[in-house]
Chain A
Amino acid sequence: MEETHEIVLTVNGTHRTARAPARRLLSDLLRHDLGLTGTHVGCEHGVCGCCTVLLDGAPVRSCLMLAVTAAGHEITTVEGLAAPDGTPSPVQRAFRECHGLQCGFCTPGFLCTVTALLRDTPRPTEEQVLDGIAGNLCRCTGYQNIVRSVHRAAELLSEREGGA
């Protein structure tokens, strides 16, 4: 029997525990061990960006990280972006409004990436948006509506800041 490790981490604010071998990828731990299938897996070698999650707030490829390495850290997946009552986050609302998705396969990765991008750069230029999402592939939308969604999300976030 392959040796397993107890892996304790925080996922979307909740303390989670799983037992898995060291070779378990974080993406597989989330999907298979914890049942959080919102994180998608496309290429499994870092190229497509579908599996992007936030590790202590920073976007990372969950397919390029061992779950054992992530132990003790805070992970945010697409399931953790909405408010506790299920209200979509400004980034999620913007993607819906601007048709920033079609099949939705790439969307969880984009949502996590853009959430961190706008937190660090609340008023991004066009170039900063393009650079910020350059590591995420989408086979459906042609990206135009995704770019619009990012700008719209920045607007929604600033309205919330100002209006709250």
Chain B
Amino acid sequence: MKPPPFGYAAPRTLDEALAALAAAPGGKVLAGGQSLIPLLSMRLAAPPALIDINRAAELDTLRTGDGGVRVGALARHARVERSAEAAAVQPLLRRALRHVAHPAIRNRGTVVGSLAHADPAAELPAVLAVLGGTVEAASPEGRRTIPADDFFRGPLECALGPGEIAVSAFFPAAPPRTGSAFAESARRHGDYALTGVAAVVTLGEDLRVTAARTGHLGIAATPLVLDLTAAAGSAGDWPAAAAHVRARIDPDADIHASADYRRHLTGVLTERALRAAAADALRRARD
């Protein structure tokens, strides 16, 4: 099917975009369109107006510093994936982005759009959540910084208010002796995952485990972050940590997988990701 009719604005600056959104109650921001346009074509969404931010060049930014990676609202998945600077500061971003859809979709879809879309099966929300990142939002009243914990509210629901535009997302840098890994299982390459996990492991000076966290996708309404430091212990008992996750989660069944299968698969992937993250941490500690 084709999208229903809608009003259209193509602002060239953020201020113009905020004004256009304020003037069109119920209007939606159009970024990469890789989630919104299918929803329009399937007539699952019929907003009165679209505010197309693709011409607002000031949002097309990718900044990397010691503190982390700040991704502007128009930075496409592909650009962030290719950035050597971003991968050096926070390697988990590239590791996760490789699992997001296909290259042609990543050429258009944006990182911030993916966060705003808040699909429970999407990779980037779990990455932002496990890293404790933030989203910067702008409205005619000003700006605010929303921590990942508060940002994801439910399936396809985030904390942005009706007149707000997400300007950027901040992914904190990997601290010293900290490694990460991403693992997921999908029916077909490039599909949304049945379940997936981003793991982050930190070692102490003595190379014993001091922190282990996972961010899960596909098993709850919002990204689920679990602190597995105690379950894994300082020696890094990854099977025990995975058993803890299996006991702790309550995934839903759907046509693709039963709840039991999802739970089992989540355990397997968690163990694998934690092991890989610990190996990565060790490599980084020795560098």
CA–CA, A22 to B2, complex, Å?
Answer: 12
Residues of A contacting B105 in the complex (Cβ-Cβ under 8 angstroms):
46, 61, 64, 135
Secondary structure class of chain A's binding surface, majority of residues: mixed
Which residues of the partner chain B approach A135 to less than 8 Å between Cβ atoms? 101-105, 190
Which one of B4-12, B19-27, B151-159 contacts A? B4-12
Contact B4 A134 (CB under 8 A): no
When chains A and B are docked, how far (Å) is the Cα of A21 from the Cα of B7?
9
Any A CB within 8 A of the CB of B54: yes
Contact B52 A64 (CB under 8 A): no
Within 8 A of B (CB), among A27-47: 28, 44-46
Evaluate contact between A65 and B33: CB separation under 8 angstroms.
yes
Question: B33 to chain A: which residues have CB within 8 Å?
Answer: 64-66, 69
Distance A52 CA – B103 CA, assembled complex (angstroms): 11
- Please tell me if A25 contacts chain B, counting CB pairs below 8 Å: yes
Complex Cα gap A103–B264 (Å): 42
| B40 close to A (CB within 8 Å) | yes
Q: Would you call A69 and B34 a contact (CB within 8 A)?
A: no
Asked whether A21 lies within 8 Å of B103 as measured between CB atoms, the reply is no
On chain B, the number of residues with a Cβ less than 8 Å from chain A's Cβ atoms is 30
Given A28-B2, A61-B108, CB of A46 within 8 Å of CB of B8? no
Check B30 for interface membership: any CB of A closer than 8 A. Answer: yes
Contact code string B74-100 (vs A, CB < 8 Å = 1, else 0): 000010000000000000000000000
B104 touches A49 (CB 8 A): yes
In the assembled complex, which residues on chain A have CB atoms less than 8 Å from the CB atom of B10?
A: 68-69
Contact among A21, A25, A64 with B5 in the assembled complex (CB-CB below 8 Å): A21
Pick the most buried of A22, A28, A52: most chain B CB atoms within 10 A of its CB.
A22
- The number of residue pairs between A and B whose CB atoms lie closer than 8 Å in the complex comes to 85
Quick check: is A63 within 8 A (CB to CB) of the other chain? yes
- In Å, the complex CA distance between A137 and B104 comes to 13
Number of A residues whose C-beta is below 8 Å from B?
A: 29
B6 CB contacts on chain A under 8 angstroms: 22-23
- A22 contacts across to B, CB distance below 8 A: 6-8, 50
Of A3, A28, A65, A134, which is within 8 A of B190 by CB? A134
Least Cβ–Cβ distance between B200 and chain A, in angstroms: 26
Contacts of B176 in A (CB 8 A): none
Asked whether B1 lies within 8 Å of A23 as measured between CB atoms, the reply is no
- A122 at interface, CB cutoff 8 A: no
Question: Are B42 and A45 in contact, with the CB atoms below 8 A?
Answer: yes
Contacts known (A22-B6, A45-B38); A69 close to B190, Cβ less than 8 A: no
Give the residues from 94 to 153 in chain A that come closer than 8 angstroms, CB to CB, to chain B: 113, 131-132, 134-135
User: Would you call B37 an interface residue if the criterion is a C-beta within 8 Å of the partner chain's C-beta atoms?
Assistant: yes
Knowing A22-B50, A60-B107, A64-B37, say if A5 contacts B2 (CB, 8 Å). Answer: no
C-alpha spacing A140/B104, complex, angstroms: 22
Q: Is A156 an interface residue (CB 8 A)?
A: no
B144 in the interface (beta carbon within 8 A): no
- With beta carbons under 8 angstroms apart, the residue of B5, B8, B190 that contacts A5 is B8
**Chain B neighbourhood of A5, CB < 8 A:** 8
> A61 vs B189: C-alpha distance in the bound complex, in angstroms?
17
Contact B41 A44 (CB under 8 A): yes
The reply to whether B52 and A66 contact each other, CB–CB distance below 8 Å, is yes
Using Cβ atoms and an 8 Å threshold, which residues of chain B touch A28?
A: 2
Q: Is there an interface contact between A68 and B37, defined as CB atoms closer than 8 Å?
A: no
A25–B4 Cα distance when bound, in Å, is 11
Could you tell me if A61 and B1 are in contact, using CB atoms closer than 8 angstroms?
no
Instruction: Find chain B residues with CB under 8 A from A65 CB.
Output: 33, 37, 108
Cβ of B3 < 8 Å from any Cβ of A?
A: yes
Q: Which of A21, A25, A46 contacts B34 (CB 8 A)?
A: A46
Point out the residues of chain B lying under 8 angstroms from A8, CB to CB. Answer: none
Closest 4 CB pairs of A and B: A135-B102, A22-B8, A45-B38, A23-B3
Chain A residues near B (Cβ < 8 Å): 2-3, 5, 21-23, 25, 28, 44-46, 49, 52, 55, 58-61, 63-66, 68-69, 113, 131-132, 134-135
> Can you list 10 residue pairs at the A/B interface with Cβ under 8 Å?
A2-B5, A23-B5, A44-B41, A52-B104, A58-B107, A59-B104, A61-B108, A63-B37, A64-B38, A135-B105
